[in-house]
Amino acid sequence: MFRTRGLTKAYRRGEVETRALNGVDLDLWPGELVVLLGPSGSGKSTLLNILGGLDVPTSGSVHYRDHDLCAASADELTRYRREHVGFVFQFYNLVPSLTARENVALVTDIAEHPMPADEALARVGLAERADHFPAQLSGGEQQRVAIARAIAKRPDVLLCDEPTGALDAHTGVRVLEALAHANRTLGTTTVLITHNAVIGSMADRVVSLSDGRIASERRNATRAEPYSLAW
């Protein structure tokens, strides 16, 4: 589904050039749940941003199905995000002036074949909180609204950047359950960034990044259920 070859991303800050990615070759398959593991600065967020069409590589290639993301214009990248990608952020990025349902509606309004906003909220167990504003929800609830918002458009790929990073373990597990549930029931390819190695055991595949390269890659024989995870 995704295919990257020789992916390199360099940032130039004044005199210094930093290589966030340094020749990454990665393939992602439909329906997979992949955990990208690595410490801060290992390049995992940069990789996610490039896969999500938020950033473009310095060199190398990225293909989503038959789309060449490197050759896409800004408008084409916007359309790509609009039609195919669901995002979940560490700090939720909900619009504070909209209720949970309306935040989801932000996406269903512009998607081609979305599910009803209430259904998306029900899938993450928040049907009852649909009329609450972000300020009236806990952190875990806000993140689950963000997941509902991401899956409501039935995306082909769900990209999650440290979705549990701002949450305690108990709440984090509930968020991971929502993600695993969406992956299983909707068949959405899911990429999950974390520096928490424990989370790796719920994935089909764990890719470890270090210094902008893929350091190791392992496939789990069975996916652990999120509720069994503890950290």
Partner 1 sequence: MRALTLKLLRDVKALRGPAIATGLVVAAGLSVFVMSMGTLGSLRATRDGWYLSQHFADVFVRLERAPLARAARLAEVPGVAAVEPRVVAGGRLEVPGLPDPAVGWLVSLPAAGETALNRVHVRQGRLPQPGVPGEVLVGEAFAQANRLGPGSVLEAVVEGREQALRVVGVGLSPEFIYSIQPGQMLPDDRRFGVLWMARDELARLCGLVGAFNDACLRLAPGASLPQACADVDRILARHGGHGAHGRDQQASHQYLDGEIEQLRGMALVAPLVFLGVAAFLLHVALARLVGTQREQLATLKAFGYRDGEVARHCLGLAVVLVLPGVLLGLAVGAWRGAELTATYARFFRFPEYVHRVGPDVVLLGVGACALAAVVGTLGAVRRVVRMAPAEALQPEAPLRYRHGWMRTLGLAWLAGPVGRMVLRHMARRPVRTLLSGLGIALATALLVMGGFVQDVLDLVMDEAFVRGQCQDLSLALVEAAPGVQASLASLPGVRQAEVVRSVAVRLENGTRSQRVGLQGREPSSELTPLRDEAGRPLVLPRHGLVLSRPLARALGVRAGDRVHVACLEGERREGPWTVAAVSLEHAGLSAYAHREALAAWLGEQGLASGALLAVDRARLAEVEARLREAPRVGAIVVRRAALEAFSATVAENLGRMRTMNVLFASILAVGVVYNAARVSLAERSRDLATLRILGYTRGEISTVLLGELAVLVLLALPLGLVLGRGLSALVVSFFETEAYQFPLVITPPTYAWAAVVTVGASLLAGLVVRRRLDRLDLVAVLKARE
Instruction: Tell me which residues touch partner 1 (CB under 8 A).
Output: 45, 49, 52, 54-55, 75, 78-79, 81-83, 85, 87, 89-91, 93-99, 102-103, 105-107, 109-110, 131, 133-135, 149, 161, 166
Q: Which is nearer to partner 1, 45 or 226 (CB)?
A: 45
Q: Which are the contacts of 62, defined by CB distance < 8 A and separation ≥ 6?
A: 2, 3, 4, 7, 50, 51, 68, 69, 70
Q: Shortest distance, CB of residue 94 to partner 1, whole angstroms?
A: 8
Helix (H, G, I), strand (E, B) or coil at 13: strand
Distances (CA, A) of 196 to 52, 192, 217, 230: 22, 11, 16, 11
Q: Say which residue the tokens 């589904």 belong to.
A: 1
Q: Which is nearer to partner 1, 58 or 201 (CB)?
A: 58
Strands, DSSP E only, in 120-178? Answer: 157-161
Q: Shortest distance, CB of residue 176 to partner 1, whole angstroms?
A: 19
Cα gap 158→21, rounded to integer Å: 21
Q: Which is nearer to partner 1, 102 or 204 (CB)?
A: 102
Q: Shortest distance, CB of residue 135 to partner 1, whole angstroms?
A: 5
Q: Which is nearer to partner 1, 16 or 135 (CB)?
A: 135
Q: Shortest distance, CB of residue 81 to partner 1, whole angstroms?
A: 4
